Amino acid sequence: MRQPNPIIGNSQPMREIRKLIETIADSPATVMINGESGTGKELVAQALHYQSPRADANFVPLNCAAIPKELMESELFGHRKGAFTGALTDRIGRFELAHGGTLFLDEIGDLSLDMQVKLLRVLQERTVDPVGSSRPVEVDVRVVAATHRDLEAEISAGRFREDLYYRLNVLPVITPPLRERGDDILLLAKHYAEKFAYKSAPVTFSPDFVEALKAYEWPGNVRELSNLIHRFSHCFLDKSCRCAACLQPCCPRVCRNYSLSVVKRQRKLTSRTRPTYCKCLPSVTTMRGYPRQ
């Protein structure tokens, strides 16, 4: 059954993405989603599937960076019993599993050159050859690929095949970084405050804190925002985010719940940013090991 779009955001770039999804959902053409980590590439892929006529069949995700190179062929195309040591039974691959539905190839930029050739063949022939079988299997699959890499640069470096790139990049979608989404940042923060409130009250945000949310760069995008609000929901017993400095991992209101070694590690991670000390606590200087440059 077709499902409503789960993507949160009313900013111009997100309205455009939502419109684009509506426009291209019904097409069988291959989609290439490009965007920084945590910008919602998988969410867009799911929205494309669940708004398409394929919604009743499977949405099958496969992270190309997570599967060892030698297992990739069997993972994608399946294998027959005895095809290799350990192939004790027949097993269908992700293409067959996605028959009638959508195959989401995440981190496609990490696919080996060998497998790129095989994938190109499948996209052209619309059949897969399970490992150890001489009988091709027909598949009706819509492929949606995603990557955070610059594939044109990968092509120039000889790491990605140009013919596969053009075969995949029929309908390009670019997920914008969170820092370019204006008021969506607050909208998402409030969504996560509700989500992570569990049985208590959701955290609230002061005007100072909201300004800091909007000014922050968000290198980890929506995933980073979600994790941060999750952390605040646990750490701020008074359920309020009051000060801009609360956004920093070394904020004493957050850190007092952690050991000093965790705080130190976090501070090293963020050594690029100069910590501004949190004004939420009256006597931070009395805290063990904090503040110290």
Ligand X SMILES: Nc1ncnc2c1ncn2[C@@H]1O[C@H](COP(=O)(O)OP(=O)(O)OP(=O)(O)O)[C@@H](O)[C@H]1O
* Positions that interact with ligand X (CB under 6 A): 7-9, 35, 37-43, 148, 222-223, 226
Smallest distance from ligand X to CB 146, Å: 6
CB of 41 to Mg ion, least distance (A): 5
Question: Which residue stretch of 25-33, 41-49, 52-60, 166-174 sits at the interface with Mg ion (rule: CB under 5 A)?
Answer: 41-49
| Exposure string for 123-140, b = 16+ CB within 10 A, e = fewer | eeeeebbbbeeeeebebe
DSSP-assigned states of every residue in 77-145: H-B-TTSSTT--S-B--HHHHTTTSEEEEETGGGS-HHHHHHHHHHHHH-EE--BT-SS-EE---EEEE
Q: Residue 253 binds what, of ligand X, Mg ion, none (CB under 5 to 8 Å, by partner type)?
A: none
Q: Which is nearer to ligand X, 63 or 133 (CB)?
A: 63
Span 64-93, contacts to Mg ion by CB under 5 A: none
In the complex, least distance from residue 113 CB atom to ligand X, rounded to whole angstroms: 22
- Window contacting Mg ion (CB under 5 A); options: 40-48, 75-83, 225-233, 285-293: 40-48
Are 112 and 68 a contacting pair, CB within 8 Å? no
Inter-residue contact 131 to 93 (CB < 8 Å): no
Q: How far is the CB of 222 from ligand X (least distance, A)?
A: 4
- Asked if residue 224 binds Mg ion (CB under 5 A), the reply is no
62 or 263: whose CB is closer to Mg ion? 62
Six-digit token pair at 24? 């291209």
Which residues face 241 on adjacent strands?
205
Q: Which stretch binds Mg ion (CB under 5 A): 15-23, 105-113, 235-243, 264-272?
A: 105-113
CB of 153 to ligand X, least distance (A): 17
The residue nearest Mg ion at its CB is: 42
Q: Considering CB distances under 5 to 8 angstroms, the limit depending on partner class, which of ligand X, Mg ion, none binds residue 9?
A: ligand X
Nearer to ligand X, 118 or 223 (CB): 223
Nearer to ligand X, 109 or 130 (CB): 109
CB of 133 to ligand X, least distance (A): 32
Q: Which is nearer to Mg ion, 43 or 123 (CB)?
A: 43
Q: Which two tokens stand for residue 51?
A: 């708004």
Q: Does 42 bind Mg ion (CB under 5 A)?
A: yes
CA 190 to chain centre: 20
Give the whole-angstrom CA distance, residue 217 versus residue 9.
18
Contact 230, 202 (CB under 8 A): no
Q: Are strands 127-128 and 137-138 parallel, antiparallel or unpaired?
A: antiparallel
Is the CB of 109 or the CB of 252 nearer to Mg ion? 109
Sign of the torsion formed by the C-alpha atoms of 118, 28, 156 and 111: negative
Q: Write out the DSSP string of 137-198.
A: EE---EEEEEESS-HHHHHHTTSS-HHHHHHHTTEEEEEPPGGGSTTHHHHHHHHHHHHTTT
Asked if 36 interacts with Mg ion (CB under 5 A), we say no
How many residues contact Mg ion, by CB under 5 A?
Answer: 3
Min separation Cβ 8 and ligand X, Å = 3
Contact 208, 189 (CB under 8 A): no
Residues forming contacts to Mg ion in the complex (CB under 5 A) are 41-42, 106
